Structure 1
Amino acid sequence: MNSWNFVGIIAWIIVIALLIFVVFNIRNRHLKILVEKKKKITWTTILTDLLEIVVVILAVSGLLYTSLFTKVDLTNQDDVAVTYKYNPMIVQTTEDGQGYYVRINKKESSSATDVYQYWLNNTKYTVSSQNSTISDATLPFTVSGLHLDWPMKKIKKMDSRYQNAYVITVQAKYKNNFINGLGLKANRFAMEYRVLRVPARSFINVAK
């Protein structure tokens, strides 16, 4: 485990210890009032109890939000490191001799999600349209729903080198810092996305 994530572990230990302290503190305070002093619980005591409970709830909610519910901002270079890899695809042929680079497998696809298949170094890869997209090189380069500073100069070089038939693999990794450590995410992958670049739509095979 990355050492920065111990920040989050220590924070959870503190919060659990605080929870235990609050439970016993409320119990002991009530027993002292009722048994030792033989008095009734006052609004002051109840408000003190509520204040302690609110503090615990806020602490737990804050850690849960930081750990589970924060969305990665791919444009924030302080939080994530984004890398790009480029791999040329291998052309495949249909029974009638038509060449293609990407196959859309309709048998495995659903109404909301497509399944893409492509080949690198004679190995078949299968990805979902939830974390990948097909990019037609005859159109301007755009990827909807993914806010990134795309390295267009590099992409144009790869277009030329691989004749518009390659895969761009984008990986985002959480950096080692206090906030990521608090969320137990330091040095972990935030996301992976693939752009399947094809020369034209005619190089896409739809298998029904």
Structure 2
Amino acid sequence: MNSWNFVGIIAWIIVIALLIFVVFNIRNRHLKILVEQKKKITWTTIVTDLVEILVVILAVSGLLYTSLFTKVDLTDKNEVAVSYKYDPMIVQTTDDGQGYYVKINKKESNSTTEVYQYWLNNSTYTVSSHNATISDATLPFTVSGIRLDWPVKKIKKLDSKYQYAYVITVQAKFKNNFRNGLGLRAGRYAMEYRVLRVPARSFINVAK
């Protein structure tokens, strides 16, 4: 485990200890009023109880939000480190001799998700359209739904080098800092996305 994530572990220990303290504090205070002092619970006691409970709820909610519900800003260089990898694809041929780089497997796809298959160094890779997109080189380079500073100049050079047939793999990793440690995600991967670059739509094989 990344050492920065101990910040989050310590924070949860403190919150759990606070919860236990509040439960026993409320119980003991009520017993003291009812049993020892033989008085009735007043509004002052109830307000004090509510304040303590509210503090615990806010602490738990804050940690849960930081750990589970915070959206990742991939453009925030203080939060994530983004890296790019480029691999040339290997051409495949259909039974009638048509060359292609990416195959869309309709049998494994559904109404909302497509399954892409491609080849690198004679190895087969399969990826969901949730984590990848096909980029037609006859169109301007765009990737919808992913906010990133794409290295367009580098991509243009690789278009020429690999003849528009390669895979861009982008990985975003949470940096080692207090904020990510508090969310128990320091050093973990935030996202991996692939852009399957093809020369034209005719280099896509749709297998039914």
TM over 0.5: yes
Matches within 5 A, 1:137-176: 137-176=137-176
Question: C-alpha displacement at 1:190, in angstroms?
Answer: 0.2
Which residue number in structure 2 is paired with residue 57 of structure 1? 57
1:14 maps to which residue?
Answer: 14
Letter of the 1:133 partner, please give it: T
1:36 maps to 2:42? no
Q: What's 2:96 paired with? A: 96
> For residues 89 and 148 of structure 1, what CA distance do their matches in structure 2 show?
23
For 1:22-44, what per-residue CA distance to the aligned partner results, in whole angstroms no more than 9, with x for missing partners?
00000000000000000000000
TM, length-normalised to structure 2: 1.00
Q: Deviation digits for residues 68-110 of structure 1, max 9, x if unmatched? A: 0011100000000000000000000000000000000000000
- Give the whole-Å Cα distance in 1 for the aligned partners of 2:9 and 2:157: 45
* Alignment partners' CA distance in 1, 2:95 and 2:192: 33
Q: Which amino acid aligns with 2:71?
A: K
1:207 aligns with 2:207: yes
Aligned to 1:113: 113
Moved over 6 A (4+): none
- What is the CA RMSD across the aligned residues, in angstroms? 0.4
Percent of aligned positions with the same letter in both sequences?
86
Distance 1:144 1:153 in 2: 18
Distance 1:62 1:160 in 2: 49
Consecutive unaligned residues in structure 2, runs of 5 or more: none
Aligned residue type for 2:87: N
Q: Letter of the 1:153 partner, please give it.
A: K
The Cα of 1:157 is off from its aligned counterpart by 1.1
- How many residues in Structure 1 have an aligned counterpart in Structure 2? 208
Q: Report the residue type matching 2:172 in the other structure.
A: A
Q: Following the alignment from structure 1 to structure 2, what is the Cα–Cα distance between the partners of residues 107 and 30? A: 65
Give the structure-1-normalised TM-score.
Answer: 1.00
Letter of the 2:136 counterpart: D
